[in-house]
Amino acid sequence: MRTAGAVVVYGATGHTGRFIVAELRRRDFSTIASGRSAVQLDALYAELGDVDVRPATVDDAGSLDRALAGAAAVINCAGPFAVTGGPVVEAALRAGIPYIDVAAEIEANVAMFADHAEAARKADVPVVPAMAFFGGLGDLLVTAAMGEWSAADEAHVAYGLTSWHPTAGTRAAGEVSHDRRGGRRVRFAGGALEYHDDKLPEQDWDFPEPLGQRAVIAEFTMADVVTVPSHVAVPEVRTYMAADAARDLADEDTPAPEPVDGLGRSDQTFVVDVLVRADGVERRATARGQDIYAVTAPLAVEAVRRVLAGRTRTTGVASAGAMFDAADFLRALHPHVSVELPH
């Protein structure tokens, strides 16, 4: 039986979009595939047969309205989100339906909170940005680790990736972010985002098994520096990236990910290790899984499922940790993600 109400996937033919479409179909959601290329959407329909297709472009508000007409929710997975985020969330608010995206771009996430919070609150519509591996998973882990704490002195999110074969979309989004920052780097310290030209330091991080101690790039800043402080009183949020994975990303010759199993996942494995400190007390939470792009699908689709079921803690623009019961959400990701949380 189909779940009532169709979910629109904008950017359905992209690498992550296809994982999300597959996860929606697996969970028996009616699915509408949308995006810029009618040719690619038709090819997806020919392949799958049971998805509706509705081409739309972000510079044509009418086409977006038609794509979302009668839908229950929309997941935006079409980057760069600096280009698509605003038009698609505005179409969702016009339609009065929840909006979820998988943006890893820091500035795009800042803009989502800054530019659309009031409209989303007035419309009483849930909007969840960065509901993905970067930004969403770390935020859920920080929130679950904190438990009853309402504030922390610092939060650290370390990404242990065995490799990073970036998609074309990742590279394009990175170029947009680089240009918007004028080539500068960003960090969250003193309760605010700072732009700087400092060289990124390298250090060791003791990841839980199966990774163990790995060299990491400190202040390799990801979207967690937007999502976590959006609802947690914490003056310092630092993110770290396995040095080998960072070098993969920086190498222009690193190929795109290749599938190694029936689910289309690559052989990349990850450990996300979170440490929060408050008043000298430390708490830790860890998540393990395979393929950072593939795991974004259960994250985004579980968010849609909970939003449509009314299992939310707020409305308007809110990160994953603010919108959902973080510990319960993380446990629901099994078997895609295994977690270890504080007792």
Q: Are 317 and 37 in contact (CB under 8 A)?
A: no
Same domain, 43 and 180: no
Structurally, the chain folds into a number of domains equal to: 2
Same domain, 138 and 269: yes
Output the pLDDT for position 137.
Answer: 98
Q: Is residue 160 part of a domain?
A: yes
Q: Is residue 231 part of a domain?
A: yes
Q: Which of 274, 291, 308 is the last residue of a domain?
A: 291
How far apart are the C-alpha atoms of 159 and 242, rounded to whole Å? 6
Residue closest to 300 by CA, chosen among 275, 320, 282: 320
Same domain, 107 and 85: yes
Same domain, 255 and 194: yes
How far apart are the C-alpha atoms of 196 and 190, rounded to whole Å? 14
Q: Is residue 77 part of a domain?
A: yes
Same domain, 148 and 277: yes
Output the pLDDT for position 198.
Answer: 87
Residue closest to 131 by CA, chosen among 112, 155, 153, 157: 112
Same domain, 88 and 160: no
Q: Is residue 237 part of a domain?
A: yes
Residue closest to 86 by CA, chosen among 60, 56, 116, 62: 116
How far apart are the C-alpha atoms of 239 and 253, rounded to whole Å? 25
Same domain, 275 and 260: yes
Same domain, 226 and 212: yes
pLDDT by 10s per residue, the chain, length 343: 244 589 999 999 999 999 999 999 999 999 999 999 999 999 999 999 999 999 999 999 999 999 999 999 999 999 999 999 999 999 999 999 999 999 999 999 999 999 999 999 999 999 999 999 999 999 999 999 999 999 999 999 999 999 999 999 999 998 988 888 888 999 999 999 999 998 889 999 999 988 999 999 998 999 999 999 999 999 999 999 999 999 999 999 999 999 999 999 999 999 999 999 999 999 999 999 999 999 999 999 999 999 999 999 999 999 999 999 999 999 999 999 999 999 7
Q: Is residue 334 part of a domain?
A: no
How far apart are the C-alpha atoms of 40 and 34, rounded to whole Å? 10
Output the pLDDT for position 2.
Answer: 44
Output the pLDDT for position 144.
Answer: 98
Same domain, 287 and 138: yes
Give the residue carrying structure tokens 């179409």. Answer: 91
- List all residues 6 or more positions away from 343 whose beta carbon is below 8 Å from its beta carbon: none
Looking only at the bridges linking them, the beta strands covering 237-242 and 52-55 are unpaired
Q: Is residue 339 part of a domain?
A: no
Which CATH number belongs to the domain containing residue 170 in this structure? Answer: 3.30.360.10
CA distances from 114 to 58, 86, 127, 317 (A): 20, 11, 13, 9
Same domain, 74 and 126: yes
How far apart are the C-alpha atoms of 226 and 187, rounded to whole Å? 10
**154, exposed or middle or buried, with CB in 10 Å at 0-12, 13-18, 19+?**
middle
Which CATH number belongs to the domain containing residue 311 in this structure? Answer: 3.40.50.720
Q: Are 67 and 38 in contact (CB under 8 A)?
A: no
Output the pLDDT for position 3.
Answer: 43
Q: Rounded to two decimals, what is the model's pTM? A: 0.96
Tell me which residue range forms the domain holding 141.
Answer: 134-291
Same domain, 35 and 67: yes
Q: Is residue 332 part of a domain?
A: no
Same domain, 155 and 246: yes
Q: Can you give the three-state secondary structure of the chain, one letter per residue?
A: CCEEEEEEEECCCCHHHHHHHHHHHHCCEEEEEEECCHHHHHHHHHHHCCCEEEECCCCCHHHHHHHHCCCCEEEECCCCHHHHHHHHHHHHHHHCCCEEECCCCHHHHHHHHHHHHHHHHHHCCEEECCCCHHHHHHHHHHHHHHCCCCECCEEEEEEEECCCCCCHHHHHHHHHHHHHCCCCEEEEECCEEEEECCCCCEEEEECCCCCCEEEEEECCCCCHHHHCCCCCECCCEEEEEEHHHHHHHHCCCCCCCCCCCCCCCCCCEEEEEEEEEECCEEEEEEEEEECCCCCHHHHHHHHHHHHHCCCCCCCEECCHHHHCCHHHHHHHCCCCEEEECCC
Radius of gyration over every alpha carbon of the chain, rounded to an integer in angstroms: 19
Q: Is residue 338 part of a domain?
A: no
Output the pLDDT for position 275.
Answer: 98
